[in-house]
Chain A
């Protein structure tokens, strides 16, 4: 398999599928290293959205007419694509706006029903704010307690501490598969098995995992998983909540409205079956359909190919950045995705970000929506370069030179 990679993986052919990459920014060829914030979109996705509006825009699940049938079919095809990608069944795939909505939905519809005073919810010290605040809100409402798994200086979970936190009181464990700020890949499969020993359910924040690796919900045995379309080469405003069917069945609806009902009367309303129960209102139709197209696209390239190519970018990028004087990596976990967080001297990350932008390079600077993590590390923020499979080693070379120039100007 490995030897095939070079053959199948033709990065310039891949780049041709991403029109946005072929432009100049501030007079320099754009280098886009902010993929952890959002990914760029291939023609397969762009054309799917275009085709939808040019050929079969229509409301779904309602009309008897041709366009409505076609749109419904494509929307449900996309659900099918996503279900098989995750190794789930279609009724377990709920279209939502993104990871944030997936977490809020579970915190509200599962949490309100099954969490009570004295119960505990566990997250890690390096979660995205989206995977902290909804649980804090739930805890506040219920009189439950949010417990936090501490991390090491290198950005790995202290597993023994996790085991100590688990108890009969634990109702929910919510953890990112992969950290957006540091790239750390957590041992979610073991974490899930350990949580299940106490009867807790586990939510996996898959926002940073889906773009880079194969995620099999049955293999992980996670109870819920959320991810965002825009980080996995589809558009914004669409994402997925996977939930085990029996849990989704037991939950209350999240929002009321059309689509999610079976019958409505003023005496009482009955709710629709899964997955429509959680999809009130006209959904993001072309979003769902193009998310299916995005998943098909990455599967065509092959996630194994993507993973090994990106791993090489990570290795190369780390090696090249190490040659920059006084550069300090933030997050040096053994198991990492293609994210490099760093600081240089005592230069504020934002100054570096501005001067890289002047040279056509997009990175992210700041706390990356992980303020508790930054507090733990005793820093305000970092510079973060995050790679996708359309990035190249040549881009890394240009980036490292540009960084050296920025550092020189700022020293």
Chain B
């Protein structure tokens, strides 16, 4: 592979506004309960915005009996609807609940990192919509930031799939709460 595109998520900048999540739905018009990107609040009050992580060792790819998954040269993991039989094995295998069942087509769908947009030189819809630049897409082969972390509070075990995501930590802040 020449590249590994992946998300860089800056916890310090995310305000939990869910713009990314709904922008994804607007762009991809996903049906019903299908949420390719999800913003969740963690126990410490910080937020995570997660989708498919376009893993280096995608379990979905490995377990799919129909070979519906492919990994592009730039690292994007795609699912090809025409090959998907809807068996759901990938949904069980993926630690991040990225592949989701579309109740209308009876097939599995997931974030394709807005591959069409990326091919046109545009940003992924969620990245473009994020007002704080908390969410970006970078080539993780070359991306380097000293405080980058492979995992964070609330993120599932990464050992199985080696996900293409980097987290930037929250910074210290001064807070004065009421005394009484």
The reply to whether chain A is a binding partner of chain B is no
Give me the interface of B with A, judged by CB distance under 8 Å.
none
Give me the interface of A with B, judged by CB distance under 8 Å.
none
